[in-house]
A and B are shown apart, each in its own frame.
Chain A
Amino acid sequence: MSSPAENAPGCPFGHGAEAPAGHHGYEPFQMKDPFPAYAEMRAEQPLMFDERINYYVATRYDDIKAVFDDWETFSSENAQAPVRERGEAAKKIMLDGGFTAYSGLSARVPPEHTRMRAIVQKAFTPRRYKALEPAIRENVVTRLETMLARPGRDGDMVRDLAYDIPTITILTLIGADTSKIDTYKRWSDSRAAMTWGNLSDEEQVPHAHNLVEYWQECLHLVGAAKESGGDNLTADLVQAQAEGAAISDHEIASVLYSLLFAGHETTTTLISNCVRVLLAHPAQWGQVVADPKKIPAAIDEILRYSGSIVGWRRKALRDTTVGGVDIPQGAGLLLLMGSANRDEARFEDGEAFDISRPNAREHLSFGFGIHYCLGNMLAKLQAKIALEEIVRLAPTLQLVAPESITFRENLSFRVPETVPVTWES
């Protein structure tokens, strides 16, 4: 680790990259409103070395997309590395608990990544999840009706809808126990906190226990599929392996470890944001209520304006430059897609939310290139079903005290913790 003093002007970290004392207002783990700091960095220092986290922080659209695109220079191997080093106690718990997971796909690199992604992709096809559409819709309707029946007319779109929906879907696809939503959410929260959080050694301890349990369950799911098969993604991967596909048991379990997190965490946020952002723009909410065909475009704009993941990491494998700044071999980069998505150079009036924006879909919220989000279509499908049913069943929905909504502290995931709503009776 380099200390701030070493990174003073004339530092080995690339000319012009050293951050000023105020870091342009950027606070790596604060998610409530990072956008003014993003804008200042884009304007004044589009590539900034942040010595507090030891990453080069990129904020411009073209730079970020170019880094994603050039996987030979910029490896994703650090994408799942703990931002804060694991403490001794957590390390011991994980070692003793047989925790050997790292990444399913996102932090693997070619040729291993190419080999595994091809196998996983075959088991994760549009036909497979489109078949779930009626069940997803039914789950949405049941939950909305329960919420709307509450006499106090008070709801929380996170708790009452967004928390369950994608979680049931992914558990179903994987063949895991759908009655264990709370358990999987607890494990996922721990994964997000342990990898992208800012935890002290002591705070890591309970999360370390959760990760051990989580990984053991992934191993167990592979074992169960080997023994008794099933009509689900795990059984398909086991079957593919039996038919000669080059994927080990440990790799299948790692893929489950990945999907049982990535498959709901960010979609819960997307569904929450659909309601939160649209209701904060009542005229556009009105347009969607009046014409639900506008929903897919609205979802793309929500992903652009308020993505579930605002920053993702890469590592430079050789000396290179990004946006004219020298980056030394081995350096970590934090790509702030949340900033790229508002870059005026790509999105006219980028700070404005506008569901009729013609190029919203050029957002980088799902990454880009060889690691492009495997679940992007499933995520959008679920958000679409949720919004269709929300505007149909609850067109008078309104936010309650939106300024009180808190966002979890994290380097990458921007998660609203509640979305309080009310409606007319």
Chain B
Amino acid sequence: MPTVHFTDTAGTVRDIEGNVGDSVMETAVRNGVPGIVAECGGSLSCATCHVFVRDDDFAALPPMEDMEDEMLYGTAVDREDNSRLSCQLRLHEGQELHVTTPETQV
């Protein structure tokens, strides 16, 4: 089972087991992880599912599509080099992913 480790701005870590094929956003929302809002439910239209990915994990992710890149210009907390929109990150078998949620999503 893939596991996502969510760290919030206060430093609290939540380790959540996800399902293969689900997005990181879905995994967060289903388990009530705070810090991911996902207003649009994953249709790449709200930029409220922004996460910062730990650098070593970031390098292992599939590259983002143009539209995700564009939407990252609409985040509430400015994007950084390790920013992704979590609705676009699909989990795969055995994956361990470390993400930090921004101070605010709106």
Chain A residues with a Cβ under 8 A of chain B: 68-69, 118, 121-122, 125-127, 130, 296-297, 300, 361, 366, 368-374, 376-377
What is the CB-to-nearest-CB distance from A101 to chain B, in angstroms, rounded to a whole number? 23
Q: Does B74 contact A (CB under 8 A)?
A: yes
User: B6-39 interface mask toward A, CB cutoff 8 Å, 1 = contact, 0 = none?
Assistant: 0000000000000000000000000000000101
Interface of chain B residues 51 through 75 with chain A (CB within 8 A): 66-67, 70-71, 73-74
Q: Are B70 and A372 in contact (CB under 8 A)?
A: no
Q: Are B74 and A126 in contact (CB under 8 A)?
A: yes
B contact residues around A297 at 8 Å (CB):
106
Q: Are A296 and B71 in contact (CB under 8 A)?
A: no
Q: Are A296 and B106 in contact (CB under 8 A)?
A: yes
Can you list 6 A-B pairs with a CB-CB distance of less than 8 A? Answer: A121-B45, A126-B73, A130-B73, A366-B39, A369-B43, A376-B39
What is the CB-to-nearest-CB distance from A360 to chain B, in angstroms, rounded to a whole number? 10
Q: Are B66 and A122 in contact (CB under 8 A)?
A: yes
Given A118-B67, A366-B39, A372-B40, decide whether A127 and B45 contact each other with a Cβ distance below 8 A.
no
B75 closest partner in A (C-beta): A126
What is the CB-to-nearest-CB distance from A248 to chain B, in angstroms, rounded to a whole number? 21
A contact residues around B48 at 8 Å (CB):
361
Q: Which 9 A-B pairs have the closest CB atoms?
A: A126-B74, A372-B40, A125-B70, A372-B43, A126-B73, A127-B73, A369-B41, A372-B45, A368-B41
Q: Does B49 contact A (CB under 8 A)?
A: no
Q: Does B99 contact A (CB under 8 A)?
A: no
Q: How far is the CA of A195 from the CA of B51 in the complex (A)?
A: 41
B contact residues around A372 at 8 Å (CB):
39-41, 43, 45-46
B contact residues around A373 at 8 Å (CB):
45
Q: Are B40 and A376 in contact (CB under 8 A)?
A: yes
Q: How far is the CA of A297 from the CA of B39 in the complex (A)?
A: 14
Q: Are B40 and A69 in contact (CB under 8 A)?
A: no
Q: Does B44 contact A (CB under 8 A)?
A: yes
Chain B, interface size category, equals 10 to 19
What is the CB-to-nearest-CB distance from A322 to chain B, in angstroms, rounded to a whole number? 18
Given contacts A68-B41, A125-B73, A300-B106, 5 further A-B contacts (CB under 8 A): A121-B44, A366-B40, A370-B43, A376-B39, A377-B47
Q: How far is the CA of A374 from the CA of B39 in the complex (A)?
A: 12
Q: Is the interface of A mostly helix, strand, loop or mixed?
A: helix
Chain B residues with a Cβ under 8 A of chain A: 37, 39-41, 43-48, 66-67, 70-71, 73-74, 106
Q: Are B45 and A374 in contact (CB under 8 A)?
A: yes
Within 8 Å by CB of B37, from A118, A122, A361, A366, lies: A361
Within 8 Å by CB of A130, from B44, B46, B74, lies: B74
Q: Are A377 and B67 in contact (CB under 8 A)?
A: no
Q: Are A126 and B70 in contact (CB under 8 A)?
A: yes
A contact residues around B45 at 8 Å (CB):
121, 372-374, 376-377
Q: Are B41 and A126 in contact (CB under 8 A)?
A: no
Q: How far is the CA of A392 from the CA of B66 in the complex (A)?
A: 38
A125 closest partner in B (C-beta): B70
B contact residues around A122 at 8 Å (CB):
66-67, 70
Q: How far is the CA of A296 from the CA of B48 in the complex (A)?
A: 14
Q: How far is the CA of A69 from the CA of B43 in the complex (A)?
A: 11
B70 closest partner in A (C-beta): A125
A122 closest partner in B (C-beta): B67
Q: How far is the CA of A130 from the CA of B37 in the complex (A)?
A: 21
A contact residues around B47 at 8 Å (CB):
126, 377
B contact residues around A118 at 8 Å (CB):
67
A contact residues around B106 at 8 Å (CB):
296-297, 300, 361
What is the CB-to-nearest-CB distance from B95 to chain A, in angstroms, rounded to a whole number? 25
B104 closest partner in A (C-beta): A296
Q: Are A361 and B67 in contact (CB under 8 A)?
A: no
B contact residues around A125 at 8 Å (CB):
70-71, 73-74
What is the CB-to-nearest-CB distance from A68 to chain B, in angstroms, rounded to a whole number? 8
A contact residues around B44 at 8 Å (CB):
121
Q: How far is the CA of A69 from the CA of B37 in the complex (A)?
A: 16
A300 closest partner in B (C-beta): B106
B contact residues around A121 at 8 Å (CB):
44-45, 67
Q: How far is the CA of A45 from the CA of B40 in the complex (A)?
A: 28
What is the CB-to-nearest-CB distance from B25 to chain A, in angstroms, rounded to a whole number? 13
Q: Are A377 and B41 in contact (CB under 8 A)?
A: no
What is the CB-to-nearest-CB distance from B44 to chain A, in angstroms, rounded to a whole number? 7
A contact residues around B40 at 8 Å (CB):
366, 368, 372, 376
B contact residues around A69 at 8 Å (CB):
41
